[in-house]
Amino acid sequence: MSQSAPLPDAAPTNWVDRRAPAPLRPWLKLGRFDRPTGIWLLMLPGWQAIALAGAMSNRPPSPLLLLEFFLGAALMRAAGCAYNDIVDRDIDAQVARTAGRPIPSGQIRVKQAWAFVSGCCLASLLILLTMGPLAIGLGVGSLALVAAYPFMKRITWWPQAWLGLTFNWGALLGFAAATGRLDGPAILLYASGLFWTLGYDTIYAIQDLEDDALAGVKSSARRLGAAAPRAIAGFYGVSLALAFAACLWAGLGFLFVPVFALYAVQLMLQARRVRVSDPAGALALFKANTWAGVVLFVAFAAGAIRF
């Protein structure tokens, strides 16, 4: 693969390969800015929690907090991906989808990648320090989950569950930033997000079934095999039940329900359409979770309206 070519899971027309200056492209690819789906999936649990907290007080979500969580998610996702690539560089070199990444392909050295991680974390910390003490503590605490994640695929068949714990930490952080406390609905939203991630990241892992087997990498998709579509439907079903329970506990307005129904339909259609034999289709279904997460955010925001 040419070093200037788009990576396999990036859109051929992504902005990094089309418009970014050539010297910056390896750095932007290291932070996955050519594949923004992960930024949204990391950010959306925080946005959902901010909307949930606002709806519980009959007010819209704070635009400032939404902006801070967008910037923080972009930075921390970049840091996490670079750290993951440092740890996984030898495995990535053996997998077709990841062999062209900046570290295994030799475009960026490991020491340079560590500097990138440090810079992104420092910028994220500056944003975190604008929030309350509980949010700051939760933000710092998330680093333990991030640090452990790359090793999960070596020791468990369920690294997707650990990713769920990590990627949805923003649900706790967002609620704490908006309210200064953690209430039951926020805990339910976090649990709902864990199962949502377990579903969509199992879909994502279908792309690498053969390469992961050759490299000895574990995943929920490998563990489940042909049963993966049924399991994904089950994961999504539990996620929907927990999110709806969060709505009931929070006492949201009725407008939550029709928007939430649209979210439920999106997830169930994914589970119905996923095929273990169709890696390209799995990538498209995985990316559709960006819009699914936006719909749930809108559902919580709509719950602030009461008649």
For residue 41, being part of any structural domain is answered with yes
* pTM recorded for the entire structure: 0.91
For residue 307, being part of any structural domain is answered with no
Full residue range of the structural domain in which residue 135 is found: 19-302
For residue 176, being part of any structural domain is answered with yes
For residue 198, being part of any structural domain is answered with yes
pLDDT at 1: 45
The predicted-structure confidence for 169-186, as pLDDT tens digits, reads as follows: 999 999 999 999 999 999
Q: What does the DSSP assignment read for the chain?
A: --TTSPPTTS-TT-HHHHHS-GGGHHHHHHTTTT-THHHHHHHHHHHHHHHHHHHHTTSPPPHHHHHHHHHHHHHHHHHHHHHHHHHTHHHHTTSTTTTTSTTTTTSS-HHHHHHHHHHHHHHHHHHHTTS-HHHHHHHHHHHHHHHHHHHHHHH-S-HHHHHHHHHTHHHHHHHHHHHSS--HHHHHHHHHHHHHHHHHHHHHHGGGHHHHHHHT---HHHHHGGGHHHHHHHHHHHHHHHHHHHHHHHT--TTHHHHHHHHHHHHHHHHHH--TT-HHHHHHHHHTHHHHHHHHHHHHHHTT---
Please state which of the ranges 148-152, 209-213, 274-278 shows the lowest mean pLDDT: 209-213
Cβ pair 60, 40 in contact under 8 A:
no
The predicted-structure confidence for 94-139, as pLDDT tens digits, reads as follows: 877 788 899 999 999 999 999 999 999 999 999 999 999 999 999 9
For residue 118, being part of any structural domain is answered with yes
Domain count, the chain: 1
CATH number, position 195: 1.10.357.140
The predicted-structure confidence for 42-66, as pLDDT tens digits, reads as follows: 999 999 999 999 999 999 999 999 9
pLDDT at 92: 85
State the Cα–Cα distance between residues 38 and 33, nearest whole angstrom. Answer: 9
For residue 7, being part of any structural domain is answered with no
The predicted-structure confidence for 216-232, as pLDDT tens digits, reads as follows: 889 999 999 999 999 99
Highest mean pLDDT among 11-15, 172-176, 206-210, 301-305: 172-176
For residue 126, being part of any structural domain is answered with yes
For residue 260, being part of any structural domain is answered with yes
